[in-house]
Structure 1
Amino acid sequence: MLGSKIAWDDTVLPFQLDASDIRGRVVRLDGVLDQILSQHAYPDEIEALVAEMALLTAMIGQTMKLRWKLSLQVRGDGPVRLIATDYYAPTKEGTPGRIRAYASYDSSRLMPRVDPFSQIGKGYFAILIDQGQGNVPYQGITPISGGSLSACAETYFAQSEQLPSRFVASFGKSQLPGEEAEWRAGGVMLQKMPKASPFVAQPENAEENRVLRADDILSEDDFEDWNRANILLDTVEDMELVGPHVQPTELLVRLFHEDKPRVFDPQPVEFGCQCSEDRVRESLSIYSAKDIAHMTTEEGVVTADCQFCGAHYVLDPETLGFKAEDKQDGDGD
C-alpha cells in the first residue's frame, strides 16, 4: 500500500479507450491539495469547492498543449464570490506541472452544512488559456449550471468546444494508521475524441442560446460507445478514486477492460506559485505617484499579499508606479 501511495500521489495519468475512441485522465491530488488548502483557513464548504476545482484544473490542464498557463475561474453572486485556479505547464519534459488555487467568499452570508455549490448563486464558469508573451489569451465562458463544478466543466466543453466530456471527482480528509489526517482527492475525466469532420450532430428545433449537453453533439454512431463508458464510470466508488489501495492503472482495468484501455506516461504535479516582487512591481507600474500615495501605509511602505501562496511583500513607494525613481541607478524624475 505504501508503495502505491508514493507512486501515484499528485499524478495525472493519461489514457485512451481504443475500442471506443475516448480519451481520459485519472488524477490523484494529495500533497498538492494539502499545500493549497493549508495556505488558508477556509470553512468546510469552501474547502470542498477548492478541492473540486483543483481536480478539474489538473485534468483539463494536462489535456491541453500549453506553453504557459491555464486558468479556471468561477464567479457568482452568492456567498461564494470567486474560485480561481492556475495550472502552469511543465517547463520541459519530465518536470511537474504546477497548480495553485484560492477562493474569495462572504463569511457573513456563508451557510454551514448547506450544499457548497448552491452558495455560488448565479454567475459563470470560465476557462482562460495564456500561451505567454506575444500570444493573445483565449477566454471561454459558460453559465453556472448543472449542480456541481464538474457539471459546469462538462457544459463548457459541450458548449464552447463541441467536445462531449464527463468529470467524476471525490475528495476529503483521510487518515492512515499512525499518521495525521491529510487531504486526498481523485478524479476521472472522459472525452469523446473528435472526428475528422467539422460537423456535429445538432438537436432538431434547438432553442437559440440553449445550453448544450454531450448528448446534443454526439452522432448516433458515437452515442452507444459514450453512453456505455459513462454507465461504467457511474459504478466507480469514492475509495477507488482517492486510493491509495487502488492504483489508477488497476482502476482503468476494473472499469473499462472491454474498451481496451491504453495508458501513457504519467505527469507529476506539484503546488507552485508564480508570484514575485518583480511581478508585483509590474502590476503597480500602471499607477501614478498620486495613486501610489493612496496605497502607502502609515509606516511609509506599500504592502501586497499573494492570495494563492500567502507571500507578503513590503515595497518602497518611491520605486513604484510609472514615474518611479530608480534608486538603484540613482536617477530622478
Structure 2
Amino acid sequence: MAIGSKIAWDDTVLPFQLDRSGIRGRVARLDGVLDQVLAQHNYPPAIEALVAEAALLTALIGQTIKLRWKLSLQVRGNGPARLIATDYYGPQAEGEPARIRAYASFDADRISGTPDPFGLIGEGYFAVMLDQGQGMLPYQGFTPIAGGSIAACAGAYFAQSEQLPTRFQLSFGKSAVPGQAASWRAGGVMLQHMPQTGGVAASGGSGEGGLLTHADILSGEPAEDWNRANLLLDTVEELEMIGPLVAPTDLLVRLFHEESPRVFDAQPVRFGCSCSEEKVRSTLSIYSRKDIAHMTTAEGIVTADCQFCGAHYEMDPVSLGFEGGDAG
C-alpha cells in the first residue's frame, strides 16, 4: 500500500489503557485533517511544522473532553513565531466526529531556514483553556515554555498543573508518492499515568526552571511502571505511527503486549471552524464608531477575515448599528 493511501485509521484518535501499569493513553492519526488545517494558509515550512505539532497534540489531549466542550491550546512567545493557536470542539452528539482548527501568527521577516522550528518561539508560555459551555467559567492553565518541543511543553504542563506524568511521542511531515501531490501525515502516542493519592512537595520540581517531572510525582511501583512503559514507547518507529501498514491496535500490541493493553471506541476527527457572520457581528459590536470607521473600506463596507479558516465577511456599517458621519 502506498504511503499516500487513505486508510480506515486516518483522522482518528484511539484511547487505550495499560491495565498492568495503571497508565492510560491515546494513539492519533491526522492526515486529511492536517492537510485541510494547513491548506487554509501559506505558512513557511518551519511554521507549518509548529502548527502540525500543535494540532496533533490538540487531538490527543482533546479526546477526553465531553460533548460540545471546547479545548484550546496556545503557545505564545517573544520570537518570530508569536502565536500558535488550536481549537478542538467535542462532538455535538455521540458517534459524531470532533472538529479541530489551528492557525499561527508570526513575523515573516524574522523567519529563516532554521533547522529548529521550536527555537522560533523564544520565551513565553504554553496555555490550555477549556470552555465547558454557557453558564460555566472557563478553565485556564499556564506553564513556561520548556524543553525542546511543543510536546515537551505539554508534558510539563500536565506534570506542573495537573500532577499527571504525561509523555508524547509524535511524528509528522509531508510525504509523496510518484504521480501524487505531497500530503501531510502525522501520528502520535500519548501516555499518562493515572492520578496518584497524596500531595507533591511544594519545594519545586527537578525539571527545567523548577518545573515538576514524573520523578517528583511518582515513586516506588508506580514509578517503575511508568519507566517501563516509557522504555517500551522508546522503541516505536516513525513509520509505525504515520505509515499505513500498522493499525493503531496492532501497534499497541507490538509495544505494550505485556502491559495488557485495552482499547476503547475510536474518536473520528475532522477539520472544522466555528466562525459565522453572526459571531463576527457580535465581536464587532464591542467596537466604537471610530474603530468601525477605520475598518470600513473606501467602498463603504466593513470586512473581516477568520484567522483559522480564511472565511471573508463583508457587512454594511449601518447593519452593525453605525450610520455614516463623524467617526469621532
Do they superpose with TM above 0.5? Answer: yes
Provide the rounded CA distance (Å) in 2 between the counterparts of 1:178 and 1:249.
Answer: 31
CA distance in 1, matches of 2:87, 2:53: 13
Mapping of 1:1-333 within 5 angstroms?
Answer: 1=1, 5-65=6-66, 67-195=68-196, 197=197, 199-202=198-201, 210-320=210-320, 323-324=321-322
Residues 303 and 203 of structure 1, relative CA distance in 2, 3 Å threshold? closer
Query: Counterpart of 1:226 in 2: which secondary structure?
Result: helix
Contact 2:205 2:216 in 1 (8 A): no
In the TM superposition, residue 219 of structure 1 has moved relative to its aligned partner by 2.7
SS at match of 1:162: coil
Percent identity, aligned pairs only, is 70
Cα distance in structure 2, aligned partners of 1:13 and 1:267: 6
Tell whether the 8 Å contact from 1:172 to 1:184 is kept in structure 2 after alignment.
Answer: yes
The question of whether the paired residues in 2 share the 8 Å contact of 1:30 and 1:183 is answered with: yes
Q: Aligned-pair distance for 1:289?
A: 2.1
Separation in structure 2 between the aligned mates of residue 190 and residue 15 of structure 1, nearest angstrom: 9
Query: Structure 2: how far apart are the matches of 1:246 and 1:5?
Result: 13
* CA distance, structure 1, for counterparts of residue 92 and residue 314 of structure 2: 29
Q: TM-score, normalised by structure 2?
A: 0.93
Q: Residue type of the partner of 2:48?
A: E
How many Å apart are 1:176 and its aligned residue?
Answer: 3.6
Distance 2:148 2:114 in 1: 16
Contact 1:154 1:166 in 2 (8 A): yes
CA deviation after TM superposition for structure 1 residue 114, in Å: 3.0
Secondary structure, counterpart of 1:140 in structure 2: strand
C-alpha deviations, 1:58-88, integer Å up to 9, x for none? 0000023353210000000001000000000
Asked if structure 1 preserves the Cα contact closer than 8 Å seen for 2:172 and 2:187, the reply is: yes
Q: Is the 8 A contact 1:79 1:110 kept in 2?
A: yes
Q: Distance in 2 between matches of 1:318 and 1:119?
A: 43
C-alpha displacement of 1:286: 1.1
Distance in 2, Cα, partners of 1:193 & 1:65: 19
Does the 8 A contact of 1:22 with 1:193 survive in 2? yes
Q: RMSD of the TM alignment (CA)?
A: 1.9
Q: CA deviation at 1:201?
A: 4.4
1: CA distance between counterparts of 2:247 and 2:6?
A: 8
**Cα drift, residue 5 of structure 1:** 4.0
User: How high is the TM-score relative to the length of structure 1?
Assistant: 0.92
Letter in 1 for 2:292: I
Q: 1:324 to 1:22 in 2, by over 3 A?
A: same
Q: Shift of the alpha carbon at 1:158? A: 0.4
Deviation at 1:203, TM superposition (A): 8.0
Q: CA deviation at 1:267?
A: 0.4
Residue type matched to 1:308 in 2? F
Structure 1's consecutive aligned runs of 4 or more residues displaced over 6 angstroms after TM superposition are: none
Shift of 1:206: 5.6
Secondary structure of the equivalent of 2:298?
A: coil
Deviation of 1:106 (Å): 0.5
Preserved contact between residue 204 and residue 212 of structure 2 (Cα < 8 Å): no
Shift of 1:205: 7.5
Residue 200 (structure 1) shift:
3.5
Secondary structure in 1 aligned to 2:108?
coil
- What SS class does the counterpart of residue 6 from structure 1 fall into? coil
Alpha-carbon distance in 2 for matches of 1:244, 1:226 = 29
Do the aligned residues in 2 keep the contact of 1:32 with 1:270 (CA within 8 Å)?
yes
In 2: Cα distance, 1:101 partner to 1:183 partner? 15
1:329: which partner in 2?
none
| Runs (5+) with no aligned partner, structure 1 | 326-333
- Seen in structure 2, the aligned counterparts of structure 1 residues 113 and 204 have a Cα distance that, compared at 3 Å, is closer
Contact residue 200 and residue 219 of structure 1 kept, 8 A: no
Report which stretch shifted further, 54-63 or 104-113.
104-113
Structure 2's unaligned 5+ residue stretches are: 324-328
Kept in 1, the 8 Å contact 2:72–2:130? The answer is yes
For 1:289 and 1:316, locate their aligned partners in 2 and report how far apart those are by CA, in whole Å. Answer: 13
**Is 2:171–2:186's contact at 8 Å kept on the other side of the alignment?**
yes
